[in-house]
Structure 1
């Protein structure tokens, strides 16, 4: 199985500039005025030009004001403070303080198109510090 990341935007050139400047992604294949493949992460990211108010799904219209969804991007970075500075300089909005947890640090932001994302800096053992064996599935001897 392969995962692709698709992000609807209302201004494709502005989105290309933001994702290049904020995260160092580079344009891949162009789909003309309808989209751009962005490369540089471990999965391709597709910026898809969709007009505000256009139908997203049954009964849902696109809006590019800040919105919340339980599905969002987490981007792992080496230095969360530097990554926040770069993203904000590119047009992101920091939505609170950087929080430090047992596994590392996290910053919650939104892009210029209303999509939320998190910047994560793993420290120490990262998520391994929290990981547990799946229930009923210990290691075999």
Structure 2
């Protein structure tokens, strides 16, 4: 089975490290030079990579990095024990709350954006979690 690594481009790796550690409780694994840090505690390593705004986003095309709020089909879901204190911590560290807490059969979810425009959801499971959507 292949390994999975999660990489997040940010304009300031030190500020992003502080945010992700204080807001979500990740811990620093390794520092990979001055512009990259490995965060642990999420089941897969999370790498914060310093990439200045305005630099090319891909080797082809004309897209450049922009750290305003943006939509992407890939985002982080951070599973928490209790959503209200986790939401308060994230907001205190600079996350933007993007609506009220949503409730469903599997649990509760809060939609956020980190300070660099990346989508992040806080997820609090209840009962059997996503298995609540599957017939017993």
Describe the superposition over 1:6-52 as per-residue Cα deviations: whole angstroms up to 9, x where unpaired.
00000111001001100111111111222000111211100000010
Output aligned runs, 1:34-113, within 5 Å: 34-57=35-58, 58-59=60-61, 60-113=63-116
**Length-normalised TM-score, structure 2:** 0.94
Q: 1:121 aligns with which of 119, 124, 131?
A: 124
2:9 maps to 8
Larger radius of gyration: 1
TM-score between the two structures when normalised by the length of structure 1: 0.90
Deviation at 1:131, TM superposition (A): 2.7
Provide, for residues 48-106 of structure 1, a one-character-per-residue CA deviation record: whole Å limited to 9, x for no partner.
00010111112221000000011111111110111101111111011000011111000
Pairs aligned (count): 133
Moved more, 98-107 or 23-32: 23-32
User: Any stretches of 5+ residues in structure 1 without a counterpart?
Assistant: 134-141
Q: 1:31 to 1:103 in 2, by over 3 A?
A: same
| Structure-2 residue corresponding to 1:138 | none
Describe the shift of the 1:79–1:70 C-alpha distance in structure 2 as closer, same or farther (beyond 3 A).
same
Structure-1 separation of matches of 2:127 and 2:64:
43
Distance 1:33 1:64 in 2: 20
Separation in 2 of the partners of 1:131 and 1:90? 36
